[in-house]
Amino acid sequence: MTRTVFRNGTLFDARARTTGRADVAVQDGWIVDVGSGLDGDVEVDCAGRGVLPGLIDAHVHLTMTGTDLFRAAQEPFSLQFYEGARNMAATLAAGVTTVRDAAGADLGMRVAQERGLVAGPRMQVSLNMLSQTGGHGDPWWPSTCVMDLLPSHPGRPPVVVDGPDEVRRTVRELVRAGADVIKVATSGGIVSSGAGPEVAHFRDDEIAMMVTEAAAAGRYVMAHASAAGAKAAVRNGVRSIEHGHQLDDETLAMMAERGIWLVPTLSSGLGLREALASGAMNLPDEIAAKIRFGADDTVRRAREAGVPIAMGTDAPLYPHGRNLTELELLVEHGLSPGEALHAGTLSAAELMGLGAELGSLEPGKRADLVLVDGDPLDVRGLGDRVHAVYQDGRAVLRDGAPVPAGV
C-alpha cells in the first residue's frame, strides 16, 4: 500500500489550537503518523503552506441555492437535487470535507456521496425541521397560499406537529427515512411569514419528547433557536443551538454547564444583509425588519462563558463554496484564529459525534487534509487560499482545480 508523506508544512494542531512544523504520513485513507523526518513512498511538498484537518460545516442546506427564496419555491421539484450536487462539489472545493445538512438533503444524497456517485463532503442529514403550526417551518402564508421551500416527499416526511404524540410519531418517521439528527425550530425565524426569532415555539413537553425519541434511536436534537426559544431547548436537553441570537447570560451558563454547543451561523446574517442592501432579495417589510434582528454580542459572551462553539454557515444564505468566511466572522466576534479553526474542525467533529475519526491531524483519524497558502492562523481570505483538498487520503482538489475520481 502506498504511504504518502505531507512534508514541510505548518500543521494546525486542533487540540492545542496552535501551529507547528511536522510531517503527516497517510496510508489507505488514514493518518498513520505525525512527526519529523517521516518516510514514505510518495511525498507532497507543503513548503510555504499550512496543513489543516478537513473543515467541517455543521449547518448547511445543500438543496437550496441563493437567497431568492420566492424564486426557489417556483422551481421544478427535482431541480433541487441537481443543484445540490453542484453545491456539494463547491463545498468540498472550499476545503469542507464534512457537513451536517440542516434540512433539505435526504438519505439518497448522503448515500450517493458515500458510493462516489457525487463529489462532495460526507454528510449527516436531518431531512427537515420540526415546526409547530404557525412556526418557522410551517409553509402557510397569510395570503392562505402555501409556499413550501422543503416540500415533503417519500424521503423527507412532513414535519408540522403539535403535541407530544405527534412529535413522537414524526421523529420516528424521520429516523425511518434516514435522519442522522433531528432538527427543530424552537423559535420563530427571519425569512418565514410568522413570528421572529424572539418568539418561542413549542412547549417543554413537546421538546422533551423530541429529545427522548431521538435519544432512543441513537440520535440527538439540533435547535434553530434564539432568545426564549433557546432557553427552552437547552432546558430540555438539545445538543446544539443554531443561530442563537440574543441569548441571555442564564442560557449561556446553562449551555456551558451542560456542554451544549452554539453554532452561530454568522455568515447567514451577513449574506441576508448584503442581499437586502443590493436588492437581490425582494422581501416584505416585516421580513426585512427581522433580518436586522441578529446583530448582537452573543458569540463573544458565549466564548467568555465557556460554551463550546462549532462552525456553521447556513449556506446558501451566504453562498456555498464561501464557507470559510465564517472563520473570519468568528474572529471578528471575539474568537482567536486558533479558536475559530478549532470551531471548524475538532469542535464541530465532536458536536457531530465524529471526534474519534475527524477534526484533527492525528494517527488513527481519517486522512482529510486541506493545504492552504501561507499561515493557516491568518484566517482572512482563507477560502481564497485553498490549494489542495484531500478526503480519505485522495486528492479531490489540487492547484485549485477539482481532481476527477480515479486520478
Domain spans in the chain, listed from the N-terminal domain onward = 3-53+360-402, 56-323
Nearest Cα neighbor of 200 from 211, 187, 183, 182 is 187
d(CA 200, CA 228): 6
Joined grid coordinates for residue 229: 426559544
Joined grid coordinates for residue 66: 441563493
Q: Tell me the per-residue pLDDT of 321-339, one tens digit each, with 9 for 90 and over.
A: 999 999 999 999 999 999 9
Torsion, Cα of 272, 276, 278, 279 (10° steps)? 130
As a whole number, the mean pLDDT across the chain is 92
CATH architecture entry for 3-53+360-402: Roll (2.30)
Structural Rg of the chain based on CA atoms: 21
CATH level 3 topology of 56-323: TIM Barrel (3.20.20)
Q: pLDDT at position 78, please?
A: 93
Q: Tell me the per-residue pLDDT of 386-406, one tens digit each, with 9 for 90 and over.
A: 999 999 999 999 988 888 876
Q: Tell me the per-residue pLDDT of 164-179, one tens digit each, with 9 for 90 and over.
A: 999 999 999 999 999 9
Nearest Cα neighbor of 81 from 118, 129, 128 is 118
Which are the contacts of 323, defined by CB distance < 8 A and separation ≥ 6?
Answer: 55, 57, 60, 91, 94, 95, 96, 267, 313, 315, 383
- Mean predicted confidence (pLDDT) in 18-25: 98
Query: Angle CA(140)–CA(156)–CA(322) in degrees, nearest 5?
Result: 85
Nearest Cα neighbor of 55 from 355, 379, 385, 346 is 346
Q: pLDDT at position 264, please?
A: 97
Q: pLDDT at position 12, please?
A: 98
Nearest Cα neighbor of 31 from 394, 370, 364 is 364
